[in-house]
Amino acid sequence: MLRMFCGFDEREAIGFHVFVASCLHKASIPVTFSPLKVNNAQQGSNAFTASRFLVPYLCGYKGKAVFADAADMVCTADLAQLNAQLQGVTGAVAVIQHQYKTRNKVKYIGTEMESPNLDYERKNWASLMLINCEHPAWQAVTPESINTWDMLDLLQFKFLADAEIEPAPNEWNRLVDEGQEVMGAKILHWTAGIPAFDHYKDAPAANIWRLEHARTTYPLPTL
């Protein structure tokens, strides 16, 4: 069974549900989905930004799990494939190690989350994480400790040694609105805003998002 932890923010709740449904439509293995949210979101930030790093703590530092931003993603492949990648992780975490400067200087345009989209080292590495919860490096990450750390330090994995961060195949976190290839992507990621938002309705691969949305919201028959 794959344990999947997903970011949840009510301001883009439809994105969360579309992502989960897109996973379930294709999964050939049992998958559990746990939404993550805290109630201290600020303008331009997601409600789950820091809580993603508590996945090992929530799992009792046992086994392995995946974190995905989820709310701005769609899955196009069988999660059994991602689970196979997860089982091979021996370090603390495996991530897609993006190296880019954003082409979207403002994100969430036209929504209450609108804000500057800042560049920083290891940007979007933490948006899809294959986590080895049993690695000893995670023992220092607790609800108390993350409140003392700078958010960028967390997002850049400053609490881990470089050797504890493994690479993951990039098709599992394609930043399609940053010019990354749509073809072959197993998880599509709209980093600046999902196609549900009017400003992003014509974003790359928006047709795929709308297809998954239509499948998710298919009306039930009237009884």
Residue 53 Cα distances to 19, 59, 88, 127, 153, angstroms: 20, 11, 20, 11, 12
Predicted pLDDT of residue 48: 63
Predicted pLDDT of residue 197: 97
In a domain, 124, yes or no: yes
Count the domains in the chain.
1
Hey, which residues does 5 pair with through a beta bridge?
34, 67
Can you list the alpha helix ranges (DSSP code H) found in the chain? 13-24, 55-58, 79-87, 143-146, 151-155, 206-216
Predicted pLDDT of residue 117: 95
Q: What is the pLDDT of residues 150-201, one digit of tens each?
A: 989 999 999 999 999 999 999 999 999 999 999 999 999 999 999 999 999 9
Domain that residue 75 falls in? 2-216
Residue 188's CATH number: 3.90.550.10
pLDDT exceeds cutoff 60 at 78: yes
Burial class (CB in 10 A: 0-12, 13-18, 19+), 47: buried
Q: What is the pLDDT of residues 112-163, one digit of tens each?
A: 999 999 999 999 999 999 999 999 999 999 999 988 889 899 999 999 999 9
In a domain, 223, yes or no: no
Q: What is the pLDDT of residues 38-71, one digit of tens each?
A: 654 443 445 467 889 999 999 999 999 999 999 9
In a domain, 169, yes or no: yes
In a domain, 52, yes or no: yes
In a domain, 145, yes or no: yes
Q: What secondary structure letter does DSSP report for 74?
A: E
Q: What is the pLDDT of residues 8-41, one digit of tens each?
A: 988 899 999 999 999 999 999 999 999 998 654 4
**pTM value?**
0.93
In a domain, 92, yes or no: yes
In a domain, 207, yes or no: yes
In a domain, 195, yes or no: yes
